[in-house]
Amino acid sequence: MIASTFIWSNYSGRHWVQITKHVHALKIPFQVTDPSGLKIPRFVYIYLLYGIKVCLIDSGVASSSQIILDHLTEAGRSPKEISLLILTHAHPDHIGAAKALKSISGCAVAAHAAEKAWIEDVDLQETERPVPGFKSLVEGSVPVDLILQDGDVLDPGGGLNMQVIHTPGHSPGSISLWLPQEGVLFSADAIPTAGGMPVYEDIQASVRSIQRLKSVQGIKVLLSAWDEPRMGTEPYRSMDSGLDYLQRIHNAVIKVADPDVRLDSMELCRRVLEELGLPKVMANPLVARSFQSSFCMLDQKDLLQDRG
Ligand SMILES: [Zn+2]
């Protein structure tokens, strides 16, 4: 049984809500500091699956471990009951507390093979994908015990099963998780929010992944890492909106790109943001990298063909 609206509890600064019989959502606030020293408030959603054991979907940032442990205590569960931490991908706001949670609970850590290197060596990740304040967001490296691939079915106990769907684009090894018994799809960062900061490595793969998620029948609740829980008709509408946003971005890159003038990637970034009517403060190397993935395929105007 799923509530028609979700009422968030705010307890000792923690924002959480029970989504279904087994799934709880936690909204974790944090800050990133940009190169000018400006503190930017951010948040990330992580999810707990309460079965016979406890399964975590992502760990949030480094400071999240105490929030998660407090939530477990409040639910009458022990940290030792965490048996599995699934990392949907390697980015800092997903793996930040993994090291602490693994050391406290002894849980297994699971992720896609394409994310393993950056989870097991966070210094390598910081070198290859610098993010402001990386060290304050990520506590440290953690070994990946279980490699997940598309089609795997996990057994969290209690008659539940959770299917792994490989949804690359945002990152090469991003995964989504489908819990059919409760109609819950965990999409992590796979679906961009219209008007939000565009962060992906491969726009065409992102489109294909969202189309794949759209083909999942019977989604009652969509739980992403950067958007509030979506239910009713909203899950499929959110996917359509994400697809349309990617196409609009691609159109803007095509319009701005001059085949005779190879623009510096940050200059291209600024011009595309302006074309899209997005704030100038979004201009950063991650967003520039997203737009570059369109630059490589300017001849393909319609990304949504073969739309699922
Ligand atoms: Zn991410």
Question: pLDDT class for 296, splitting at 50, 70, 90?
Answer: confident
- Has residue 307 got a pLDDT over 90? no
Summary mean pLDDT of the chain:
92
Query: Which one, of 50, 44, 52, 63, lies nearest residue 18 by Cα?
Result: 50
- Has residue 200 got a pLDDT over 90? yes
Answering whether pTM is above 0.85, one says yes
pLDDT tens figures, 128-178: 999 888 999 999 999 999 999 999 999 887 788 999 999 999 999 999 999
For 79, the 3-state DSSP assignment is: helix
pLDDT for the residue 39: 82
Contacts of 107 (CB under 8 A, 6+ apart): 56, 82, 83, 84, 85, 101
User: From ligand 1's centre to the CA of 293, what distance in Å?
Assistant: 16
User: From ligand 1's centre to the CA of 245, what distance in Å?
Assistant: 17
Question: pLDDT class for 190, splitting at 50, 70, 90?
Answer: very high
**Element of type H or E holding 209:** helix 203-214
Q: Residue 161 in contact with residue 139, Cβ under 8 Å? A: no
User: From ligand 1's centre to the CA of 190, what distance in Å?
Assistant: 8
User: From ligand 1's centre to the CA of 158, what distance in Å?
Assistant: 30
- The pocket of ion ligand 1, defined by CB under 5 A, consists of 91, 189
pLDDT tens figures, 114-133: 999 999 999 999 999 998 88
pLDDT for the residue 75: 87
User: From ligand 1's centre to the CA of 88, what distance in Å?
Assistant: 9
- For the chain, percent of residues with pLDDT exceeding 70: 94
Q: How far apart are CA 307 and CA 303, in angstroms?
A: 9
Per-range mean pLDDT, top range of 143-152, 262-271, 275-284, 293-302: 143-152
**Residue found by looking up tokens 């946003």 in the block:** 245
- Has residue 260 got a pLDDT over 90? no
DSSP 253: H
Token pair for residue 132?
């402001």
pLDDT for the residue 38: 79
pLDDT for the residue 308: 45
pLDDT tens figures, 21-45: 999 999 998 888 777 777 888 899 9
Angle between helices 64-74 and 98-105 (to 10 degrees): 40
pLDDT for the residue 231: 94
Question: For the sheet containing 230-231, what is the strand order?
Answer: 153-157, 160-166, 175-179, 184-188, 221-224, 230-231
